[in-house]
Each structure stands twice: as C-alpha cells, then as structure tokens.
Amino acid sequence: MSDGMVMEAAALFDDHEKWISFFELCDLRQRIYEYWVRKATQTIRDHFYKTRSDKWVCEPYGDTNRDTRWYLREFGMNSLGITIGWFYEIVLHLPDGDGYDTNAITEKLSRPEFMPISMAFDRIDYQQKDGKKLVECRNYIFDGQDDGGIMQYHDLAWYAGNQTGAFVTQVIGKVERLICDPKVTDLIIELNATTKK
C-alpha cells in the first residue's frame, strides 16, 4: 500500500468518533463473516434435507456453522464421504484413518476405473495420503469472473452473504455431481467396502 493510499485512508478519520466506529466495525468483521456463511450453509443443508437420499446422509460437521458432511448410510459417519470444510473446500474425505486402509484408498484412486470420482470435481487442487483424498479449494465463480485461483475466505464470505443464491447453487452442484451420480456413488461404496479394516 502506497503512502498516498495511507494518507487518503487516514483522512477519513478526521474526528475521534469516526475512528472509534472504525474499530468497532473491525471487531465485528469475523462475526459478519460467520453470519453470512451460516445463512448460506443452512440454505445448502435445507436443500439436501428436502431431497433426502436413500444412500447418503447429510449432517453438520466440524465447525457446525459452516462445515457439512455427506456419508454413506451403510458405512457410517467415519467412512469415506464428501465434506465441505476448511472454508468451503469440497473434499473426498476419510475422517477415520484407523478404521480404513487409507493407503489402499489412495492407491485405488489412482486407477483408471476410479477416475469418475476425480472427474466429478471441477478440478483437483491437491491430494493427501491421509484424510483429504481429493480436494477442490474454494473454486467458485461470481459475476462471470474466474481467475482460476483459490478464492480468499473474506471474498467468499461476502458472496455467500450477498449473492447467496449464486453461491448456494454452485455448492449444491459440486456436491450433487458426487453424491447423485450412481457410478460415483458405487465407486465410493466399493472403496469403503474394500478398504474397511
């Protein structure tokens, strides 16, 4: 930030009350983020609660105001499933590394027959050998702009609160490509069944 920009910003606070108001707003920043994201998250969950699946269960997870998890009913909540977490990453996620052979899952995901799972993501930003098997990091497009990067959380929170419909539609679409595709579901069932200890 240039000195000119700092001088311009400093000029906005020409009396003490404005300065105090600025600090009060800064203190509310995190709570505003949480409010916007909580509102959007509830809309996403309501969609999946209304369109219940025989195979998939949708539940709050981790930071329950923001994170949501879908797991296969027959394998339970600690099985390989889909998680929206870590500030809206879409993740093929295994929370229980002790109950499953995590290395076998990683190896199987590299096989051609399991490619439909990774192809259901818009992109794969990274993979881990532990719980986060495939990860798409905050890959959202608003106002027709796609920089191909990872959207910063403060930007994503603003869109979640102010372009809620566009945000919710994108999240639902990303999740439905994974849990509503019978082939992808069957492959995730196979991964759970063949790697459970």
Would you list the DSSP string of 62-111?
SSTTT-EEEEETTT-TTSSEEEEETTTEEEEE-S-TTTB-HHHHHHHHTS
Average pLDDT, whole number, for the chain?
93
> Is 0.85 surpassed by the pTM of this model?
yes
Burial class (CB in 10 A: 0-12, 13-18, 19+), 12: exposed
Residue 180 lies inside a defined structural domain of this protein: yes
Q: Is residue 72 part of a domain?
A: yes
Asked whether residue 15 is domain-assigned, the answer is no
If one counts the domains in the chain, the total is: 1
Per the domain annotation, does 2 fall within a domain?
no
Q: What is the pLDDT of residues 120-178, one digit of tens each?
A: 999 999 998 779 999 999 999 998 777 678 899 999 999 999 999 999 999 999 999 99
Residue 112 covered by a domain: yes
Over range 29-42, report the average pLDDT. Answer: 95
Provide the domain limits for residue 91: 30-195
With tokens 């439909």, the residue in question is 116
Spatial distance between the Cα atoms of 68 and 34, rounded to a whole number of angstroms: 15
pLDDT band with cut points at 50, 70 and 90 for residue 85: very high
Q: How far apart are CA 170 and CA 104, in angstroms?
A: 31
Please give the DSSP secondary-structure letter assigned to residue 143.
Answer: T
Sign of the alpha-carbon dihedral angle for 136, 142, 147, 153? negative
